[in-house]
Amino acid sequence: MASGGARTPPLPAALSARDRTARKAEVAEDDAAVLRAMQAGGGLRLLGLRIVIVLVLLMAAQAYDGSLHALSHWFILGLYGVGTIWFGLGERGGGPAAAAYSWAGTLLNAGLAVYVIIEHMLAGGGAGLGADAVSRLPAFLLLLQTGLSMRVAQTLLFCGVVTACWTATFLVGLAWPDLFPGPDSFPTAQITGLATFVAAGLLVIDGVVRLRDAVTRALRMEHERAQLARFVPDTVALDLAAEDADAAMGIHRRHACLMVLDIRGFSRLSREHPPEAMVTALLAVRAAAQAAVAEQGGLVDKYVGDAVLVQFVVGRPRAQARAALACALSLQDRIAALNEAREKEGLFTLRVVVALHAGDLLVGVFDDGVRAEYTVLGPAMNALSRLEARAKAAEIGIAASGDFLDLLGGPLPPRIRAVPVPDARDAQPALFAVVETPEARGVPEQARG
């Protein structure tokens, strides 16, 4: 069989420096793509949120102004309003400076939150619930706004700056109580506020991280599904894309049942019959194979010469094995019907050998940058090749390995039984012939005849 004769190349154990660099670039591109996807259409809304926050802060300050210097308080809020809108417009404009505008906006947010908190602490923090609420409002609103930008690093920066400055000011107040009015209520009020902010910050950061991870996974799955859909049915593409692939190469490690069909004596027949007749016969066998495989939910991996390589990768191993066996039996019936029709037309008949094996494999789209191909790799492929060659030599119609039969987990269908094939060289894997037992129809047979 041409498809299994060559030894499977080993999967590289480690990536080269060039591959690692390329992978880092891909990860950076993926991260940027995730951010763009999550922020798509949200730039205008975030800008609107900035304006709303400024208005809320102005109204809150108007309702209760606990600042030491009212004029400076309003001046700071005014500068913040102008600055945040300017940075928001700069970020929305895109280009190389957009990231700088974004970071500057985050620092501006942190600066305002720290200013209002410290100013209120100097004016009498803890002296009244209304004042406390106003002083902490910017920190929580701006935390929410920064989190909605979906930038984890900037959210961490905002939380870190506000927490550090709030903590430092609180420690100063403990060391020099005279600097801050209301020494009796000061510690309790600030500890409560600081703890609440830290908890809220952790929740926001955790939420942003989880959301970005979920979007990253969804985009990766869709990208891989689209790539796989070029080669395999949607059911297989969705099943493979739903599980984690090798981080370096996008390849899946999973169990599969393999089947190979090969036409016996194809080279001899090619010498005895014209090319047109051989092409017609080959296409008829391929059509029968495709129909039988599709009927059982399998996948034709490739056609190589007169051989057809089939894989069953969806479902549990037992379900894979049962589907593969049903496919092999269906193929046997279809080839028999094909030969009957060919005999009536006076054409030569065809004999095929089918080999079945199972094992863990690498499955996915192998892309070397020039050509992409969906296939499976692994020791089970080499074992399948050996099984097929031994089945040919032993004149077996359907051959199966012991590993394959073990997966069936019970009796074979009534029409067949498995007969061990002795091998003088004690070759592995063990070979069994799956043969019909017309006399035993309706009587269950054990898996090992």
pLDDT in tens, 163-196: 999 999 888 888 887 777 766 667 777 888 889 9
Question: Are the CB atoms for 404 and 258 separated by under 8 Å?
Answer: no
State yes or no: pLDDT of 127 exceeds 60: no
**Helix 186-229 / helix 17-39 crossing angle, nearest 10 deg:** 110
Per domain, the residue ranges of the chain are 41-227, 250-440
pLDDT at position 449, please?
41
The Cα 348–Cα 278 span in angstroms is: 10
pTM of the predicted protein model: 0.57
State yes or no: pLDDT of 140 exceeds 90: no
Q: What residues contact residue 134 under an 8 Å CB cut-off, 6+ apart? A: 60, 61, 63, 64, 66, 116, 120
Q: Are strands 431-436 and 416-420 parallel, antiparallel or unpaired?
A: antiparallel
The Cα 60–Cα 132 span in angstroms is: 11
- Token pair belonging to 256: 């599969």
Q: Which amino acid is at 135?
A: S
- Token pair belonging to 435: 């043969």
pLDDT at position 182, please?
65
- Hey, which residues does 362 pair with through a beta bridge? 253, 377
pLDDT at position 167, please?
92
State yes or no: pLDDT of 201 exceeds 60: yes
Q: Which amino acid is at 294?
A: A
Q: How confident is the model at residue 342 (pLDDT cuts 50, 70, 90)?
A: very high
- The CATH fold assigned to 250-440 is Alpha-Beta Plaits (3.30.70)
The CA-based angle 209-216-202, given to 5 degrees, is 5
Q: Which of 219, 52, 17 is nearest to 142 (CA)?
A: 52
State yes or no: pLDDT of 32 exceeds 60: no
Q: How confident is the model at residue 68 (pLDDT cuts 50, 70, 90)?
A: very low
The Cα 35–Cα 277 span in angstroms is: 58
131-140, 297-306, 367-376: segment of lowest average pLDDT: 367-376
pLDDT over 90, % of the chain:
24
**What does residue 145 show for φ and ψ, rounded to 5 degrees?**
-65, -45
Residue 289 CB coordination number (10 Å) = 26
75-84, 167-176, 280-289: segment of lowest average pLDDT: 75-84
The Cα 225–Cα 228 span in angstroms is: 5
Tracing tokens 């500057």 back to the chain, one arrives at 104
The Cα 42–Cα 400 span in angstroms is: 58
Q: What residues contact residue 250 under an 8 Å CB cut-off, 6+ apart? A: 224, 227, 364, 365
DSSP H helical ranges for 176-232:
186-229
The CA-based angle 229-230-236, given to 5 degrees, is 30
Mean pLDDT of the 50-74 span: 61
State yes or no: pLDDT of 275 exceeds 60: yes
| SS3 assignment, position 200 | helix
DSSP 7: P
Question: From residue 31, how far is each of 166, 205, 333 by CA, in Å?
Answer: 32, 17, 53
Tracing tokens 């005895």 back to the chain, one arrives at 272
State yes or no: pLDDT of 122 exceeds 60: yes
The Cα 439–Cα 414 span in angstroms is: 10
The string over 312-342, giving b where at least 16 C-beta atoms fall within 10 Å of a residue's C-beta and e elsewhere, is bbbeebeebbbbbbbbbbbbbebbeebbeeb
The Cα 421–Cα 74 span in angstroms is: 93
The Cα 204–Cα 26 span in angstroms is: 27
31-40, 89-98, 181-190, 316-325: segment of lowest average pLDDT: 31-40
Q: Which amino acid is at 163?
A: T
State yes or no: pLDDT of 340 exceeds 80: yes
- Token pair belonging to 388: 């097929």
Mean pLDDT of the 8-23 span: 43
| SS3 assignment, position 372 | strand
Question: Are the CB atoms for 445 and 419 separated by under 8 Å?
Answer: no
State yes or no: pLDDT of 130 exceeds 60: no
Residues 178-183: contacts with CB within 8 Å, 24+ apart? 179/122, 180/121, 180/122, 180/124, 180/125, 181/123, 181/124, 181/125, 181/127, 182/124, 182/125, 182/126, 182/127
Question: Are the CB atoms for 376 and 256 separated by under 8 Å?
Answer: yes
State yes or no: pLDDT of 7 exceeds 50: no
- Hey, which residues does 261 pair with through a beta bridge? 308, 354
Give the residue with greater pLDDT, 279 vs 425.
279
Q: What residues contact residue 293 under an 8 Å CB cut-off, 6+ apart? A: 299, 300, 310, 327
CA R_g for the chain: 35
State yes or no: pLDDT of 442 exceeds 50: no
| SS3 assignment, position 357 | strand
Tracing tokens 């593969």 back to the chain, one arrives at 324
